[in-house]
């Protein structure tokens, strides 16, 4: 990057022929610059260690004297085992090497050698991986290990690296401005590259890594922040001057006092409404944290300013629930609320659309039906999307485009660890409801083994007898030979058998049409069904406060975030609720997931745990990850660096110096290359 010399093809290096170049190309290395920025995934530690202090199975490097000639045993199929007696200090031990018979000639009794390998305490032997013929003094402490393919040797690769740094190192331009480096005590790029490829000591490598973690996160954040700034500078939003007194009256009329978190978020959203910028905000709040009422309040704000509002939900039943709530809350106020769904047809639909177009409807609630072309607003000022992850980017964009740059709020019940949310949704503002309404009884969660199913049924029955309802959740809908998964159909039949003539059981799964799903869901929410057996389709924000019991079959097959989402279907009413996880996890990770579920009801804590257990890639699932791939940075552990990088980038793009000063030219160059300056969007 930045200058031609660094773009020199890798073939210019001595020793890189056609074949090697192809090999390197497969590692995405074509230029000298690419090579320098190919980082090792770890460093081999060759520091001398004291055997007496080394635990069993740890790697160790020792200086030793060869005591006797090595003996070789042939194991067949060209394999061999070489054993040699060595003296380490006053310790007489063995060193063992596999398939390296040639060492026999080189391990001369009386000579000093340096041997690295795994320490086998029981056998008093080192299972050697490296041997250096001579004392430790003339050998380095740390050696990088690169992920190379085939039989490409580390040593050869390091040779090219040395050559590249020696020949082209002087052309390196540091993208990180000196001011930033000084502020965070980061080494310059040359020192950094030396430190990561040829560390002299542990701290050298550590400082180098620190620098590149920052560089990576900072460059990424810089793009996001520059994009944000560009949008703010060019996009004209709507100033929604709401009526504060009316808003207060509405809040006072609600059946409960808002939690502090709800108040804070209402303020954040209202502040955005007032600004001329177009709001682009994500509201995260755990299941049951009370996002709907925040939506209602802020939509009302838009109405008091003379604008229309829209609330889009992913399912009909959810849209209906919202409409019911809003109807009730707005009854004493002069707000005209309408519900548009697929089942509003014919004349009713035509009338509704006409009223919407001439401004007789203030708030429109609905499903995807909202984004059809014939839905025309009079003056749409504010749009809220509930359970945003259920909609595609395109659907959200169409809804937004139905107004003149309306403000937009996305709500999600999926708590996302902050590192991920500022990475994946960096161009958005984020509001968080991190507090549950008072008096909520925490859901009691238990983890049981399959053999305890009888006890689970007993508990289920006692809840049903008390007039409550229950969910039974299964991972898959069909029998599969390979996976020993209890399927929904089977569970349904079993429970129907158990409760025949006493309680009604319903079945819901992904193969049902939306209308069928809605019908089943409605029967359950109206109490006609007592038990709902379902796959994960039930996950989305449905509110049946009378359901107090959930049993999850094969719970080890679910991720933490999903289990938590599912569990959020109970514990929504006045009664104590229970969640029983039936699971026989085979892995430690699986066991830990089950334990975490029984230990906390806090979605953010579970999300963080999930991130730690599964890593950022799996957290969102492949489909809508939106996460960039980082070479050195690690979103689980480098969160402090991420915060600092974000803050620094966000402040920097606001300064004139950044856009004009020579010192920032390399950074502007990065932005130009990424297309951000042309107004291209990352999303």
Estimate the share of the chain in helix, then strand, then coil, as percent rounded to the nearest 5.
45, 20, 35
Closest CA to 526 of 540, 499, 496, 547: 547
Q: How far is the CB of 533 from Mg ion (least distance, A)?
A: 23
Q: How far is the CB of 341 from ligand ADP (least distance, A)?
A: 19
At 471, which helix (H) or strand (E)? Answer: strand 469-473
CA distance 526 to 533: 16
Provide the 3-class DSSP secondary structure of residue 660: helix
Binding of ligand ADP by 293 (CB under 6 A)? yes
Q: Which does 293 bind (CB under 5 to 8 A by kind): Mg ion, ligand ADP, none?
A: ligand ADP
Closest CA to 364 of 340, 400, 395: 340
4-12, 254-262, 351-359, 393-401 -> range binding ligand ADP (CB under 6 A): 254-262
Binding of Mg ion by 288 (CB under 5 A)? no
Provide the 3-class DSSP secondary structure of residue 18: helix
Binding of ligand ADP by 265 (CB under 6 A)? no
CA distance 152 to 150: 6
Q: How far is the CB of 340 from ligand ADP (least distance, A)?
A: 20
Contact residue for ligand ADP among 437, 559, 590, 628 (CB under 6 A): 437
Provide the 3-class DSSP secondary structure of residue 117: strand
Binding of ligand ADP by 262 (CB under 6 A)? yes
Provide the 3-class DSSP secondary structure of residue 92: strand
CA distance 620 to 616: 7
Give the footprint of ligand ADP on residues 266-285 (CB under 6 A).
285
E strands in 317-387: 337-340, 363-366, 380-385
Q: Which does 238 bind (CB under 5 to 8 A by kind): ligand ADP, Mg ion, none?
A: none
Q: How far is the CB of 286 from ligand ADP (least distance, A)?
A: 7
Neighbours of 322 (CB within 10 A): 25
87-95, 175-183, 253-261, 463-471 -> range binding ligand ADP (CB under 6 A): 253-261
Q: Please state the φ and ψ torsions of residue 74, each to the nearest 5 degrees.
A: -95, 130
Which residue is nearest to ligand ADP, using beta carbons?
290
Q: Which residues have C-beta within 8 Å of that of residue 570, sequence separation ≥ 6? A: 443, 471, 547, 548, 549, 550, 577, 578, 579
At 429, which helix (H) or strand (E)? Answer: strand 429-433
291-299, 460-468, 600-608, 649-657 -> range binding ligand ADP (CB under 6 A): 291-299
Binding of ligand ADP by 287 (CB under 6 A)? yes
Binding of Mg ion by 568 (CB under 5 A)? no
Q: Which does 193 bind (CB under 5 to 8 A by kind): Mg ion, ligand ADP, none?
A: none
**423 and 642 in contact (C-beta within 8 Å)?**
yes
CA distance 569 to 572: 7
Q: Which does 290 bind (CB under 5 to 8 A by kind): Mg ion, ligand ADP, none?
A: ligand ADP
Contact residue for ligand ADP among 259, 280, 388, 577 (CB under 6 A): 259
Neighbours of 379 (CB within 10 A): 13
Contact residue for ligand ADP among 225, 289, 577, 596 (CB under 6 A): 289
CA distance 672 to 669: 5
Nearer to ligand ADP, 128 or 541 (CB): 541
Contact residue for ligand ADP among 173, 202, 256, 683 (CB under 6 A): 256
By DSSP bridging, strand 79-88 and strand 91-98 are: antiparallel
Nearer to ligand ADP, 225 or 262 (CB): 262
Q: Which does 506 bind (CB under 5 to 8 A by kind): ligand ADP, Mg ion, none?
A: none
Contact residue for ligand ADP among 385, 419, 534, 543 (CB under 6 A): 543
3-11, 78-86, 127-135, 286-294 -> range binding ligand ADP (CB under 6 A): 286-294
- For the chain, the straight-line distance linking the first and the last C-alpha, in angstroms and rounded, comes to 25
Crossing angle of helices 588-599 and 560-567, in 10° steps, is: 30
Nearer to ligand ADP, 6 or 313 (CB): 313
225-233, 251-259, 358-366, 455-463 -> range binding ligand ADP (CB under 6 A): 251-259
Q: Please state the φ and ψ torsions of residue 47, each to the nearest 5 degrees.
A: -70, 145
64-76 as b/e: b if 16+ CB within 10 A? bebeeebeeeeee
CA distance 177 to 222: 13
Contact residue for ligand ADP among 288, 366, 381, 603 (CB under 6 A): 288
Q: How far is the CB of 259 from ligand ADP (least distance, A)?
A: 5
Binding of ligand ADP by 603 (CB under 6 A)? no
**213 and 419 in contact (C-beta within 8 Å)?**
no
Q: How far is the CB of 481 from ligand ADP (least distance, A)?
A: 38
**375 and 340 in contact (C-beta within 8 Å)?**
yes
- Paired with 366 in beta bridges are 312, 340
Q: Which does 406 bind (CB under 5 to 8 A by kind): ligand ADP, Mg ion, none?
A: none
Which residue is nearest to Mg ion, using beta carbons?
541
Q: Which residues have C-beta within 8 Å of that of residue 553, sequence separation ≥ 6? A: 472, 473, 474, 475, 486, 491, 582
- Side-chain half-sphere exposure of 199, counting CA atoms within 13 A: 23
3-state secondary structure 597-627: HHHCCCHHHHHHHHHHHHHHHHHCCCCCCCC
Q: How far is the CB of 517 from Mg ion (least distance, A)?
A: 18
Q: How far is the CB of 573 from ligand ADP (least distance, A)?
A: 8
Give the binding-site size for Mg ion (rule: CB under 5 A). 1
Nearer to ligand ADP, 572 or 646 (CB): 572
Q: How far is the CB of 256 from ligand ADP (least distance, A)?
A: 4
Binding of ligand ADP by 445 (CB under 6 A)? no
Nearer to Mg ion, 314 or 541 (CB): 541
Nearer to ligand ADP, 225 or 292 (CB): 292
CA distance 659 to 199: 36
Neighbours of 370 (CB within 10 A): 23
Give the footprint of Mg ion on residues 509-548 (CB under 5 A).
541
CA distance 308 to 328: 18
Handedness of CA 527, 530, 534, 538 (dihedral sign): positive
Binding of Mg ion by 571 (CB under 5 A)? no
Q: How far is the CB of 152 from ligand ADP (least distance, A)?
A: 53
Q: How far is the CB of 443 from ligand ADP (least distance, A)?
A: 13
Q: How far is the CB of 329 from ligand ADP (least distance, A)?
A: 10
Nearer to ligand ADP, 293 or 335 (CB): 293
Nearer to ligand ADP, 433 or 551 (CB): 433
Contact residue for ligand ADP among 361, 413, 544, 635 (CB under 6 A): 413
| Residues in contact with ligand ADP by the rule CB under 6 A | 256, 258-259, 262, 285, 287-293, 413, 437, 541, 543, 572
Interface residue list for Mg ion (CB under 5 A):
541
């Amino acid at each position: 990057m930045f200058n031609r010399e660094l773009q020199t093809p890798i073939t210019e290096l001595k020793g890189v022929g056609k074949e090697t170049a192809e090999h390197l190309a497969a590692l995405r290395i074509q230029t000298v610059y690419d090579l320098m920025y190919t980082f090792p995934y770890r460093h081999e530690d060759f520091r001398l260690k004291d055997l007496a202090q080394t635990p069993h199975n740890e790697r160790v490097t020792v200086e030793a004297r060869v005591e006797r000639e090595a003996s070789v045993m042939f194991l067949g199929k060209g394999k061999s085992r070489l054993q040699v007696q060595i003296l380490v200090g006053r310790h007489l031990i063995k060193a063992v090497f596999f398939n390296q018979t040639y060492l026999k000639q080189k391990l001369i009794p009386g000579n000093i050698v340096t041997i690295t390998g795994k320490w086998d305490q029981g056998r008093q032997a080192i299972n050697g991986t490296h041997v250096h013929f001579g004392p430790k003094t003339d050998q380095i402490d740390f050696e990088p290990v690169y992920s190379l393919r085939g039989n490409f040797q580390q040593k050869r690769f390091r040779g090219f690296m040395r050559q590249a740094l020696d020949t082209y190192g002087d052309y390196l331009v540091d993208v990180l401005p000196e001011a930033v480096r000084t502020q965070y005590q980061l080494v310059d790029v040359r020192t950094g590259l030396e430190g990561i490829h040829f560390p002299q000591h542990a701290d050298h490598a550590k400082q180098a890594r620190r620098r590149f973690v920052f560089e990576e996160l900072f460059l990424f954040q810089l793009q996001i922040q520059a994009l944000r700034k560009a949008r703010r500078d060019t996009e004209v939003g709507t100033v929604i001057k709401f009526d504060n007194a009316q808003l207060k009256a509405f809040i006072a009329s609600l059946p409960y006092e808002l939690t502090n978190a709800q108040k804070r978020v209402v303020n954040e959203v209202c502040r955005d409404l007032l600004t001329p910028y177009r709001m682009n905000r994500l509201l995260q709040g755990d299941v049951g944290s009370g996002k709907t009422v925040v939506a209602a309040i802020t939509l009302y704000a838009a109405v008091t300013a003379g604008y229309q509002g829209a609330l889009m939900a992913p399912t009909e039943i959810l849209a209906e629930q919202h409409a019911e709530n809003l109807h009730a809350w707005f009854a004493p106020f002069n707000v005209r609320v309408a519900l548009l769904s697929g089942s509003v047809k014919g004349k009713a639909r035509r009338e509704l659309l006409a009223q919407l177009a001439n401004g007789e409807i203030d708030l429109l609630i609905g499903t995807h039906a909202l984004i059809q072309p014939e839905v025309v607003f009079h003056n749409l000022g504010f749009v809220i999307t509930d359970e945003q992850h259920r909609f595609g980017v395109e659907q959200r964009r169409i809804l937004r485009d139905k107004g003149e740059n309306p403000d937009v709020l996305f709500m999600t019940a999926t708590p996302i660890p902050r590192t991920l949310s500022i990475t994946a949704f960096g161009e958005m503002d984020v509001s968080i409801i991190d507090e549950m309404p008072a008096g909520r009884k925490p859901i009691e969660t238990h983890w049981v083994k399959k053999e305890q199913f009888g006890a689970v049924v007993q508990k289920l029955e006692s809840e049903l007898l008390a007039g409550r309802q229950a969910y039974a959740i299964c991972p898959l809908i069909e029998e599969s030979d390979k996976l020993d998964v209890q399927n929904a159909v089977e569970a349904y039949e079993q429970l129907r058998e158990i409760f025949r003539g006493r309680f009604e059981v319903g079945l819901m799964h992904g193969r049902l049409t939306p209308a069928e799903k809605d019908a089943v869901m409605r029967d359950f929410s109206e109490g006609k069904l007592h038990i709902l057996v379902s796959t994960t389709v039930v996950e989305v924000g449905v509110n049946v406060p009378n359901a107090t019991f959930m049993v999850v079959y094969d719970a080890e097959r679910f991720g933490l975030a999903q289990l938590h989402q599912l569990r959020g279907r109970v514990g929504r009413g006045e009664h104590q609720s229970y969640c029983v996880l039936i699971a026989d996890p085979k892995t430690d990770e699986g066991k830990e997931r089950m334990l975490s579920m029984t230990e906390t009801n806090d979605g953010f804590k579970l999300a963080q745990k999930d991130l730690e257990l599964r890593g950022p890639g799996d957290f969102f699932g492949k489909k809508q990850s939106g996460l960039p791939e980082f070479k050195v940075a690690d979103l689980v552990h480098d969160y402090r660096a991420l915060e600092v990088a974000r803050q620094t980038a966000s402040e920097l793009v606001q300064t004139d110096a950044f856009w004009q000063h020579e010192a920032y030219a390399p950074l502007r160059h990065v932005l130009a290359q990424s297309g951000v300056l042309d107004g291209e969007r990352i999303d």
